[in-house]
Structure 1
Amino acid sequence: MLTAIIPKLPMRDKNATKAFYIDQLGFTEIGDYGDYLLLKKDNIEIHFFEFKSLNPEDNYGQVYIRTHAIASLYQSLLDKKVSIHPNAPLQNKPWGQKEFALLDPDNNLLTFGESL
C-alpha cells in the first residue's frame, strides 16, 4: 500500500536552500547527510540532493503542494517578502483549485493549491 510521496529536488548550495525553505517558508530540518538534505513542514517532506553544476535556467523541478487556508498562507509569504512567481499570483483555476506558485533559489517551481 502506498502511504506518501516525497519529492527529491536538486540544490546547488545547501545553505541557500536551508535559508529559503527554513527562514522564508517555515520548514524544519529533519536530516542533513552532507550532499542530501531533508526538510519538513506540517505533513509534507521535501528532500534535496546536491547538484553543484545545475544551471537553474535548465531546471524543471516542480512540486504541487495541497494546502488549507491558502489565502492566509499567501499573505504570510507576501508579508515575509517572499517573491511570488510573476505569472502565478493567487488565483482560481478552471480545474477547481485556488493556486499560486513561487521559485526556490534553484528554480524549482513550488505550486500551492487548495480545492475551491
Structure 2
Amino acid sequence: MLTAINPKLPMRDKSITRDYYVNKLGFTDTGSADYDGYLIIQKDNVQIHFFGFPALDPKENYGQVYIRSNDIEQLYQSMADNKVDIHPAGHLQVKPWGQKEFSLLDPDNNLLTFGQSV
C-alpha cells in the first residue's frame, strides 16, 4: 500500500539549496547523514529530496512540485514576510480548476506551487 510521495529535485549547490529551504521557506534539514550530493528537507508532512547536479542549467530545468496546504493565506503571508520572491505569474489567486494557488522558483529554477481547494 502506498503511504507517501517524496519528490526528488535537482540542485547545483547543496549549501545554497539548504539555506533557501531552511532559512527562507521554513523547512528543516532532516537528512540522517550528510552526503555530499544529497539533501532531505521537511516541513510539516511534506518531504523533498534533492540530488546533486552541478552541471544543471537552471534555464533548462523543468522540476516541479505541487504542495497542498490547509491555510494557503497564512502560508502566502509568511512567504511575503520572509521576502521570498513569488513567481511573476504565480501570485496568490483562485484558478479555474478550483484551487487557490501561488508559485515560486527555488535557486535552481525548480517550480514550487502551493495550493488549497476552494
**Coarse TM-score class (shorter-chain normalised):** over 0.9
Instruction: Determine what percentage of the aligned residue pairs are the same residue.
Output: 66
TM-score normalised over the length of structure 1: 0.98
Partner of 2:6: 6
Matches within 5 A, 1:1-116: 1-31=1-31, 32-116=34-118
Amino acid corresponding to residue 78 of structure 1 in structure 2: A
Alignment root-mean-square deviation, CA:
0.6
Q: Which runs of 5+ in 2 are unaligned?
A: none
After TM superposition, give the deviation of residue 115 of structure 1 in Å. 0.4
- 1:72-107 deviation digits (Å, cap 9, x = unpaired): 110111111100000010000111100000000000
Amino acid corresponding to residue 75 of structure 1 in structure 2: Q
TM-score normalised over the length of structure 2: 0.97
- 1:24-70 deviation digits (Å, cap 9, x = unpaired): 00000111321111110000100000000000000000000000110
Counterparts of 1:104 and 1:57, CA distance in 2: 12
Q: Which runs of 5+ in 1 are unaligned?
A: none
